[in-house]
Structure 1
């Protein structure tokens, strides 16, 4: 189990994950991974999950963000936030490895 803080979760995101976990009766663990596809080449995938032995973890306010080793190569140094604005609300990834992204913010290229 890697305990490296190369990823982070903002307080706003932690509060939202805790709310969702409570409503679903699940542990407050948010898994972030990268899938091939999306309009820019890769897309972010969020799900409530369990911790695997080789995951990298970051904890904020009792909530754990986990990333698998393969996705970590593309997400190293990233921060997950939860934003609410007139267009709606969503988890947002600030990824220093992304060379470009799409307008919706859910996909990126390297």
Structure 2
């Protein structure tokens, strides 16, 4: 993982590309960090049709992820992954900055 950016795993890139191809007008997945969740911060995933001026763009194959600069501070060095196992399917963020996370996989603390 590159400590200066956010990367996409192959499985996440394939899943994002598949989702975007089936959503008319949506061009990217936005990942943001919000206050709240059971561990202090939580990740939010949205499909969007436009890039904001302060967005950092992460691309792999046909997948495009947008991250605002404030959220990026909390996510530097992270890898966005897509997991499909017996517990279900979900995007997970492997964040080296998180010192704790909860069982839901979308909440963390620094």
Deviation of 1:62 (Å): 2.1
Unaligned residue ranges in structure 1 (runs of 5+): none
1:94 aligned residue: 94
1:57 aligned to 2:20? no
1:26 aligned residue: 25
Task: Summarize deviations over 1:70-104 as a string: whole Å, max 9, x none.
Answer: 11111111110110000000000001111110011
Deviation of 1:28 (Å): 4.0
1:85 aligned residue: 85
1:13 aligned residue: 12
Structure 1's consecutive aligned runs of 4 or more residues displaced over 3 angstroms after TM superposition are none
Give the number of aligned pairs.
Answer: 106
CA shift in 2, pair 1:92/1:9, >3 Å: same
Task: Summarize deviations over 1:4-29 as a string: whole Å, max 9, x none.
Answer: x6011111111111111121113441
* SS of structure 2 residue aligned to 1:71: helix
TM-score by length of 1: 0.89
TM-score by length of 2: 0.89
Unaligned residue ranges in structure 2 (runs of 5+): none
1:36 aligned to 2:24? no
* SS of structure 1 residue aligned to 2:17: helix
CA distance in 1, matches of 2:81, 2:34: 19
